[in-house]
């Protein structure tokens, strides 16, 4: 299915993309016109069929191919959404069990394995990418895993550089994959093949509509469980922020994010009530000489976000 990357396939040298579900009226020259937006096209072959055509576009470099996959998959030409992926012949994947794995969260619903892989393929040792699917709903669970061949340093760099980057309609966040993450990955792998094709862009459209429909204010909406924390000193890091909120003794903290250079962060609780109480208690709390400002984070917690409390923060001595 169009999300899978086989192992015999070496994406670090691949400069070609497969284009599927192409409207029969599309000509080779129109296809080139669309695809050269991502970079100069070396050649293009379109196999025209009555119901829908398919073809291959060869670029001069891998970056252009990766960009085409990220920006053109799902693009409508004559009202028909094209599929764009790496061009490969093999059907198996590389064994990544001995590789370094990172966890990537906050994925928007249209991101599939190919888009996630394209996003990280600028790192030469990146070997595979998998988005986790919910087989009941046929939708993305909003997170996935990216593996790196024997390059711990490169995986670490990717975590630092890619966190906060936009992929689709959301900013992704990265971390080392924990053991629990990895076990979850094992369980869902065998379902992946079946469900991958269902993660179509109609979901994205549905979600966009829901976002614009104004729900009542966050304080009355149980889907909001994240506290925005502003006016932080630049020296306040994730662990320190986590400690301050942990010490309030309010509920289960599931996620802590900090944009240190910008002086703000987010704390996600497991329930709306806990977050509301934390806002009340922490607003105006003095951290390193500055009173912090607390309010609701501007995004509801997506349904199906994994809810495991973080381990207690490391004590400061």
119 and 141 co-located in one domain: yes
In-domain check, residue 304? no
203 and 233 co-located in one domain: no
> Among 182, 211, 240, where does a domain finish?
211
CATH number of the domain enclosing 172: 3.30.70.330
The answer for residues whose C-beta is within 8 angstroms of residue 186's C-beta and 6 or more apart is none
pLDDT score recorded for residue 206: 35
Domain count, the chain: 3
CA 5 from centroid of its chain's CA atoms: 17
Question: What six digits make up the tokens of 82?
Answer: 């094209």
pLDDT score recorded for residue 183: 46
pLDDT score recorded for residue 138: 66
**pLDDT class of 267 with cuts at 50, 70, 90:** very high
119 and 189 co-located in one domain: yes
The region of weakest confidence among 129-138, 211-220, 244-253, 269-278 is 211-220
265 and 196 co-located in one domain: no
pLDDT in tens, 2-29: 344 544 555 566 788 889 889 999 999 9
The region of weakest confidence among 50-64, 76-90, 156-170, 217-231 is 76-90
Q: Which residues pair with 291 in a beta bridge?
A: 286
Domain that holds residue 37: 16-86
189 and 250 co-located in one domain: no
Q: Is 184's pLDDT higher than 50?
A: no
The region of weakest confidence among 75-84, 208-217, 304-313 is 208-217
In-domain check, residue 190? yes
Residue 68 · residue 92 · CB < 8 Å: no
pLDDT score recorded for residue 93: 53
């Amino acid at each position: 299915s169009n999300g899978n990357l086989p192992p015999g396939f070496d994406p670090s040298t691949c400069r070609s993309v497969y284009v599927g579900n192409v409207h029969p009226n599309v000509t080779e020259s129109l296809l080139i016109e669309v695809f050269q937006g991502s970079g100069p096209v070396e050649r293009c072959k379109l196999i025209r069929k009555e119901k829908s055509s398919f073809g291959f576009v060869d670029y001069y470099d891998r970056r252009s191919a990766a960009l085409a996959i990220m920006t053109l998959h799902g693009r409508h030409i004559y009202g028909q959404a094209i599929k764009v992926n790496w061009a490969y012949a093999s059907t198996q994947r590389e064994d990544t069990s001995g590789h370094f794995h990172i966890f990537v969260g906050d994925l928007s619903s249209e991101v599939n394995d190919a888009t996630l892989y394209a996003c990280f393929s600028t790192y030469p040792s990146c070997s595979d990418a998998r988005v986790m699917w919910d087989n009941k709903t046929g939708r993305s669970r909003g997170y996935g895993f990216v593996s790196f061949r024997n390059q711990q340093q490169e995986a670490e760099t990717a975590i630092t550089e890619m966190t906060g980057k936009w992929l689709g309609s959301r900013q992704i966040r990265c971390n080392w994959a924990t053991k629990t993450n990895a076990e979850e990955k094992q369980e869902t792998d065998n379902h992946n093949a079946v469900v991958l094709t269902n993660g179509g862009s109609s979901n994205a459209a549905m979600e966009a509509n829901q976002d614009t429909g104004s729900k009542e204010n966050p304080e009355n909406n149980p889907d909001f469980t994240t506290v925005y924390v502003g006016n932080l000193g630049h020296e306040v890091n994730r662990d320190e922020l986590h400690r301050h909120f942990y010490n309030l003794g309010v509920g289960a903290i599931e996620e802590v994010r900090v944009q240190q250079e910008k002086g703000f962060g987010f704390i996600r609780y497991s329930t709306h009530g806990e977050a509301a109480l934390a806002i009340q208690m922490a607003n105006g709390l003095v951290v390193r000489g500055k009173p912090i400002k607390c309010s609701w984070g501007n995004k509801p917690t997506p349904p199906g976000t994994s809810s495991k409390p973080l381990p207690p923060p490391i004590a400061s001595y």
